[in-house]
Structure 1
Amino acid sequence: MGIPSYYRFLCQKNKKIITNDYYLNGKVVLCFDFNCIVYYCLSKMPEYDENNNEAYEKELISEVTKYVEHVYISAKKPSEVFIAVDGVVPMAKMKQQRMRRFKGLFMEPYEIEAGVRNIRKKSWDKNSITPGTLFMKKLDVALKELCARHSGWSVSGYNDPGEGEHKVMNYIREYESNNTFLIYGLDADLILLSMLQSTKQNLFLMREVMEFNSVVLDDNDKTQFLYLNIHSLNNELFHSTKEEYIQDYIMMMSLLGNDFLPHSLSLTIKDNGYTILFNNLKEFHKQKKFLVENKLIRWDMLKEFINMFVAQEAQLIEHRCKKKSQMYSYKGKTEYEQKMAQTILMPCKWFVEKEFYDNGLKQDWEDTYYKKFLNDDKNACIEQYLKGLQWILDYYNGNVIEYDWYYPHMETPLWKDIYTYLCNDTIGKERFIYEIALPLKPEQQLVLVLPIESFHLISNEKYKSFPSRFPQYYPSKFSVHTLGKKFIYESESNIPILPSKFIRKMLV
């Protein structure tokens, strides 16, 4: 779900949820949300030699399969293993992937200027770890061979649509109750997805032991692992494992932003937003009120919930603007930190919030916010945002979704305006009718998410020519969106959205 530091945040707040082992209950199945393993093994690879790309990729694939075996042995060799490789994803996720991949290009000259990137050394193109590339095809063959050597192992490859973590959840849903599932993965939304499945199954998330941002090794230089007990997490958060509490929690977390909806200017997980929302949610539940019923958002209850914190909105925005305006004074202690500070803190240097903040929120700040940063009818923005909330809930529950849907803005409407809208309008599920469409093909997704500098990864000549036909979607120069962002890694590329509907139409 793209929630920064969420795993670490939960562990610090709820220390009992982490164990050195897992307990058995029925059959034990090990599931891999796989792509993070590729990135992890890539980080351990020797320096890239562009003249020997094939050998480099062969070694990387070998390291990946070895690491899968290591995780399997560390998990005590469960009787069943399921490897879920990322396939083609919904448009809302593709939009996020596209902006992230383009941002790497934006950052390159700044990192070179700051001295944190070596201009003479060419690195392996990480965009190769995208469905449809030759590298992923070779990796797919290796994983199928690996599974063939083990009884009870299976793989869902890049040709099967869906994010890895959602493939894992669909796999778990096929099982009867009371089995033990170990899920290897580093993505924060795995926690939320696992919480939804934990009412029927015994779930543990498995990940490397980390200290000071480095993986801890044992005496044999092997990676050590910890287990996050999802059942214990539910009890720590709610003192209950009932599904209605978990559904509400998923809904609440969407209000903090994720891969599909931006966070608001007033509430982020790093600036006490989680605490504000969670404390209000607990108070809400004390009154026997719930945001979600039968996996549908109750808009009347959402209105009441927003009303619990809406009065703080302007004050919270003002506080965050003030805090950001003061951050650029940080210069770093070491030479490396000083270089990195020039790059990382660029959003504070640019401080686009000056449009509506000057030692306090300007009188017309709300109008400026909508005019400068949303560029749309206020009610239309609100309706798109509310549809997004229900879409996310459907997506995480494994329900039918609108594959081509995406939120078209960089910012959210203000809470006060969402509250007013909900006071004046009755929203039913019928307001958000989904248009059903098939997923894109893997190479079609490549055209959508890759910057032109990575089009060498596409083998289809017709697809390769797409940027020359529609150059407006592949700008060589663009800015990044930094409103509400303190660090450059939080920012997003200001590039045209390339809808999956358009790709499907033009690349038949």
Structure 2
Amino acid sequence: MGIPAFYRWLVERYPRAAVSVIEDEPPLLDTTGPNPNGYEFDNLYLDMNGIVHPCFHPEGLPPPKSYDDVFRAVFNYIDRIFSIVRPRKLLFLAIDGVAPRAKMNQQRSRRFRAAKDAADEASWRESKIESEEEKSTSLEQSMKLDSNVITPGTEFMELLSSSLHYYIRLRMNKDAGWQGIKVILSDANVPGEGEHKIMSYIRLQRNLPGYDPNTRHCLYGLDADLIMLALATHEIHFSILREDVRGAGPNDKTVKCAKDSLLASQQGEREYSKPMEVVDENVEDYVSRQKFQFLNIWVLREYLAIDMKVRGFKTKAKLERLVDDFVFMCLFIGNDFLPHIPSLEISEGAIDLLMMVYKKEFVKMGGYLTNSSKVNLERVEHFVQAVGFHECAIFRRRTQMEKERELRFRRFSRNKPSSYSSKPMSQNPLNSSAVDIQTQMHRIDTGINANVDKIKLGEKGWKERFYVEKFEAQTEDECKRILRNAVSKYIEGICWVMHYYYEGVCSWQWFYPYHYAPFASDFHGIDKLNIEFTLGKPLKPFDQLLGVLPAASAHALPLFYRELMTDMSSPLLDFYPTDFKLDMNGKRFSWQAICKLPFIEESRLLSEIAKVEHTLTDEERQRNSFSLDALFVHTSHPLAVKILAFCKRKVGHPKLSNAKVKRKINPKFRLCMVKIFPIEAVHVKNAAFEGALFLLMLFHGKLPLSWFRVL
């Protein structure tokens, strides 16, 4: 995702950090037994978007026919992960809510690209359909299963939240393993990305009196940046659960999971997954071969302590500071908020280069690059300049490798098969490697797009050509102005990301205003920058939908919002181009292309939204609002007794609606839960769900904890 190929690099360089998951032989119904992996976990955190996406559009398998099928697959997916980890204190399910503007630009690019691919797919399907009725049915089905609806504010996300509420109550009533834990559901109406809501929760717990530093955490998710976030917590007992990127062969014998489970996602680092084969199988057969791994952060920390050992420094280097610097350096290679530095590619040894330069220049720099979220800009300039000295050599080597690769492809093309699938290349799910080979040959044969190299990196004048071509600078003065601004904004972005990783959002509105990053050798004068951020506030869900969805997905929005995207007289129509440039930018695969989309002007967007917001129905207003995290505990849980006792004393009090009550809960009963509960309103209902309690709370840094509700 944000750091392509990072996980593959990590498990190859530090092989003992990743271990295969051991599962009990089926049937497994009791999750209260000891964990077969040899150690127990206290808390399990699920980045739910890594589950929902593969359930919504599984690669290499027929798509689900309805939302119910998607939800059923999600439930079974969670069941398997729960049976692997078996948390003893907490399960946290986090769905992406409204994201900071810096992330929205990437979301916009992905969704526009998905819509473009879907249009190609639909066109191909329509060419095979003769009946008008069948065409209409096909169009309705494609709108229903548009993966772009996996965005806060849509009807699908509201239904997903309701379904998870049902699922959690069901499991608490039926599974003894669920009855002894707390379950927190942070749905799409709670602002923030899922993984960062999880990290915010962990940070809050670490700062509470009575917190157990030996708490064992397990985080499930597919994005490589989860590894960085786990390192940034400085929690020793931390593991990340994810699928084995090396893939499972058709003859591998692994245990079967619960019926109707869905395959683990290949989306995160699909370029390194095993190509999908056309096999005669159902979902259960495929999932039975799916392998999982634990990436143990405590082992990775030991590796880094050895690999980043600094010599010649006046004092012994501190591991925690080295870990923070490692996280910081990797930001230049890739993240979800900034384009990576052009000369740094993991597949070309970029991380090894950064670590080598870091150790070599550590003493000259004067020490560490960072102090938690704080960045020492003077040392960073020294470090990045040192990396920049290698750029010309990197580009010359890259050019030579590209020439050799094209020569191999030309040889292959002379003997290529006479025909390929007539299905659009970007949508052939059966063998992505073959599709991308065909794409590469098409580029070579026709001489289009990235095959016409106007920049010629590494040759004389390559910098000037780069900024003219990519940043569209017209004159030398304009080139210098753009360069200074790009470097300034990029360093702002690096500081923004570090704050986001270590403390949370420091600005909801900030974003990097270019599609490309400057060169490392151009980072001059950054030590003189005065970097400050204004916190601002998140957009509403419908506002974000208008900011990230293409016009083809307008069906996910209310009518008058939809018209802002599709009406030819709309003042926002330029935000939703139906055709846009895809820049391969030297990449080999078509899906790696950069989408040259116009950036959203937030003030203009919000101004037009204000004119139609009054047209929303009550149900739509609810979808467009913010909510709180939901906590579920069974009545047999020790915390439930404390909550009920408190509620009995406060319910019916005439001044309760205006009360600001603080109540401390004994850490013995809290079991990794927030300490203070400011309360404005409490409502109690009969135990309609066989004793399960439902509690609403808010766990977001500096935002107030306003109220909770027990059902």
Q: Count the aligned residue pairs.
A: 491
Is the 2:216–2:238 Cα contact (8 Å) retained in structure 1? yes
SS at match of 1:354: coil
For residues 303 and 115 of structure 2, the distance between their equivalents in structure 1, rounded to whole angstroms, comes to 42
Aligned 1:172-187 pairs, distance under 5 A: 172-175=202-205, 176=211, 177-187=213-223
Cα RMSD for the two superposed structures: 3.0
For residues 54 and 518 of structure 2, the distance between their equivalents in structure 1, rounded to whole angstroms, comes to 37
SS at match of 2:217: strand
Residue 296 of structure 2 is aligned with which of 229, 242, 246?
229
Residue 525 of structure 2 is aligned with which of 421, 426, 430?
421
Is the 1:36–1:185 Cα contact (8 Å) retained in structure 2? yes
User: Which consecutive unaligned segments of at least 5 residues does structure 2 have?
Assistant: 22-36, 130-137, 173-178, 206-210, 257-284, 310-317, 421-430, 474-478, 611-711
For 1:251, the equivalent position in structure 2 comes to 328
For residues 533 and 104 of structure 2, the distance between their equivalents in structure 1, rounded to whole angstroms, comes to 18
SS at match of 1:355: coil
Q: CA deviation at 1:489?
A: 1.5
Is the 1:266–1:313 Cα contact (8 Å) retained in structure 2? yes
For 1:487, the equivalent position in structure 2 comes to 589
For 2:560, the equivalent position in structure 1 comes to 462
Shift in alpha-carbon separation, 1:217–1:119, aligned structure 2, 3 A: farther
Aligned 1:81-92 pairs, distance under 5 A: 81-92=91-102
Shift in alpha-carbon separation, 1:48–1:184, aligned structure 2, 3 A: closer
Deviations 1:150-174 (A, max 9, x none): 2411200000011111111112123
For residues 492 and 10 of structure 2, the distance between their equivalents in structure 1, rounded to whole angstroms, comes to 28
Structure with higher Rg: it is: 2
TM-score by length of structure 2 reads: 0.64
**2:42 partner amino acid:** V
Shift in alpha-carbon separation, 1:260–1:271, aligned structure 2, 3 A: same
Deviations 1:14-52 (A, max 9, x none): 111112466647x61111011111122234596358xxx
Shift in alpha-carbon separation, 1:299–1:473, aligned structure 2, 3 A: same
More off after superposition, 314-323 vs 394-403: 314-323
More off after superposition, 231-240 vs 187-196: 231-240
Shift in alpha-carbon separation, 1:452–1:292, aligned structure 2, 3 A: same
For 1:103, the equivalent position in structure 2 comes to 113
For residues 399 and 338 of structure 1, the distance between their equivalents in structure 2, rounded to whole angstroms, comes to 42
1:385 aligns with 2:490: yes
For 1:131, the equivalent position in structure 2 comes to 152
Q: CA deviation at 1:84?
A: 0.5
1:366 aligns with 2:437: no
For residues 325 and 109 of structure 1, the distance between their equivalents in structure 2, rounded to whole angstroms, comes to 34
Q: CA deviation at 1:283?
A: 3.0
1:192 aligns with 2:228: yes
For 1:443, the equivalent position in structure 2 comes to 542
Q: Share of identical aligned residues, percent?
A: 26
SS at match of 2:453: helix
Is the 1:89–1:161 Cα contact (8 Å) retained in structure 2? yes
SS at match of 1:102: helix
For residues 217 and 439 of structure 1, the distance between their equivalents in structure 2, rounded to whole angstroms, comes to 47
Deviations 1:472-491 (A, max 9, x none): 11112211122232222211
Is the 2:152–2:545 Cα contact (8 Å) retained in structure 1? yes
For residues 118 and 167 of structure 1, the distance between their equivalents in structure 2, rounded to whole angstroms, comes to 45
SS at match of 2:515: coil
Is the 1:481–1:493 Cα contact (8 Å) retained in structure 2? yes
TM-score by length of structure 1 reads: 0.88
For 1:171, the equivalent position in structure 2 comes to 201
For residues 154 and 186 of structure 2, the distance between their equivalents in structure 1, rounded to whole angstroms, comes to 16
- When you count helix as a share of all residues, which structure comes out higher? 1
Residue 47 of structure 1 is aligned with which of 38, 49, 62?
62
Shift in alpha-carbon separation, 1:66–1:110, aligned structure 2, 3 A: closer
Residue 507 of structure 2 is aligned with which of 394, 399, 402?
402
Is the 1:347–1:486 Cα contact (8 Å) retained in structure 2? no
SS at match of 1:226: strand
**2:469 partner amino acid:** K
SS at match of 2:44: strand
User: Which consecutive unaligned segments of at least 5 residues does structure 1 have?
Assistant: none
For 1:70, the equivalent position in structure 2 comes to 80
For residues 528 and 58 of structure 2, the distance between their equivalents in structure 1, rounded to whole angstroms, comes to 54
Is the 2:108–2:549 Cα contact (8 Å) retained in structure 1? yes
